[in-house]
Amino acid sequence: MAAFQSLVVPAHAKLNLRLEVLGRRPDGQHEVRTLMQAISLHDLLIAERAPRTSLEGGVGEDDLVLRAQRALEAAVGRHLPARFRLVKRIPAGAGLGGGSSDAAAALRALRRLYELDCDLRAVAADLGADVGFFLAGGAAVARGRGERLCPVRPSNEWYALAWPGFEVSTARVYAAWDRVGGEGDNQLTRAALAVEPRLAEFVAMLGDGWRMTGSGSAFFRAFPERGRAERTAAGLRGCWTAVARSVGAWGPG
């Protein structure tokens, strides 16, 4: 079968339906246990074989798409030149996993473009704790830094999403957790509010029933059907909103 010359790969966002912080590890990272769910909101990565590598729509040489490509080239010991175009729909720095999902999409695209027989999981683990999850998607309980995954049955819910338009530093949130601890469905929420006072105003505006995803700053609210999610999102003002539903796994990783 002939190799693919070009591919369009959706890079889905995720929600942390629950997130528990278990403590600081000897390596300085934090041990977590979290239930992650992929959702229909996604970026698009268009990839094609090319004489030299380029990326349109990224943030430069440090973009996770290009970092993923360099890591895979190092792992397989050959050049994998490609022309990438990234169409961003997931807000950056929102806790929705957009950058990690873009990296996983790049790995999946390059494996197909160049018909590589390799396990992407080790490459993904070196790029970031969430990248491995996005190789397969669906739902999983993640442990460690988030890299140890146990797939579970996906939810069947719709979500109203809200993002205040600013990001919160993940490193600062975890450092704040060391001081203030946490509770509830997302045990980083208290720390995120301590780091970014504007987030408390945003939470007050949202009202009851909203949960933060990741280390912030996006929030979500779950509903059993689409209409209620759409009406809830439409009722918000002064922030980015979206409606998405849970999605199942798209690959074996």
Catalytic residues: 14, 130
Angle, helix 64-76 to helix 98-113, in steps of 10 degrees: 40
Where on the phi/psi map is residue 29: left (φ > 0), alpha (ψ -120 to 50), or beta? beta
Q: Which two tokens stand for residue 168?
A: 């919160």
Contact partners, residue 73, CB within 8 Å, separation at least 6: 79, 80
- With contact defined as beta carbons under 8 Å apart, do 83 and 54 qualify? yes
Q: Give me the torsion for CA of 186, 188, 189, 195, rounded to 10°.
A: -170
Q: Which residues pair with 86 in a beta bridge?
A: 45
C-alpha span between 208 and 87 (Å, rounded): 33
Closest to 45 in 3D by CA, of 94, 78, 96, 83: 83
At CA 234, angle to CA 229 and CA 239, rounded to 5?
110
Closest to 164 in 3D by CA, of 120, 209, 198: 198
Q: Give me the torsion for CA of 238, 36, 41, 252, rounded to 10°.
A: 170
